Amino acid sequence: MPVWHGTTILSVRRGGKVVVIGDGQVSMGQTVMKPNARKVRTLGTKGTEGGKVIAGFAGATADAFTLFERLEAKLERHGYNLMRAAVELAKDWRTDKYLRNLEAMMIVADKEVTLILTGNGDVLEPEAGVAAIGSGGNFALAAARALVEYENDAEVLCRKAMKIAAEVCVYTNDRVTIETLDSTT
């Protein structure tokens, strides 16, 4: 079975905003299976404005939806405290026999914190508020870090960095989904 590729997720926290942006390409081998997948979502919409979380995934789609559902349940259980919910999800992800087999990574952000979550139990807070995952993640990360001292608008910075990533990574396209929250930092 061919390996599925095709995700670039980038998050930037700058100028009073936090942005999570994802490309739309899903590839299998050398074939683009879908050009407009929606890999970035808003979670915690049942909570207050302060409880909203934006999340983007890289990896198998079904696995990502499972993780979105689990994270949303953890958010509700822990009063929309993202750090606590993320740590609890990471513990489950690493130790649960079913979850341990999920192949995905996530970037999650609320108004206070941005985190990268992995199946190894990692809950990582990126340096300088810039994080990226996926097959084009390193391209987007490098572009965003290069642009950060020249562009104060998080959304503009994300769009420029994703454009650069799409130009150099064959598994990334320019059909993006973007979610934005006001930030305290």
Q: What confidence tens digit (pLDDT) does each residue in 78-116 have?
A: 999 999 999 999 888 888 766 766 777 899 999 999 999
Domains present along the chain, CATH in parentheses: 4-182 (3.60.20.10)
5: helix, strand or coil: strand
Segments of the chain assigned E as strands: 4-5, 8-14, 17-22, 26-28, 31-34, 40-43, 53-59, 104-109, 114-118, 123-124, 130-134, 177-182
DSSP secondary structure string for all residues of 127-141: GGGEEEEETTHHHHH
**pLDDT for residue 176:** 96
pTM for this one? 0.92
| Residue 172 clears pLDDT 80, i.e. is over it | yes
- Given a contact cutoff of 8 angstroms between Cβ atoms, the answer to whether 17 and 179 are in contact is no
From residue 1, alpha-carbon distances to 4, 29, 61, 133 in Å are 9, 9, 16, 23
Annotated catalytic residue, options 7, 8, 45, 177: 7
Q: Does 31 participate in catalysis according to the annotation?
A: no
| Residue 48 clears pLDDT 70, i.e. is over it | no
User: One-letter amino acid identity for 19?
Assistant: V
The whole-number average pLDDT for the span 2-12 is: 75
Residue 158 marked ligand-binding: no
Residues 6+ apart with CB under 8 A from 138: 132
**pLDDT for residue 65:** 82
Report residue 2's pLDDT band, with 50, 70 and 90 as the boundaries.
very low
**pLDDT for residue 152:** 94
Q: Which two tokens stand for residue 67?
A: 């993780």
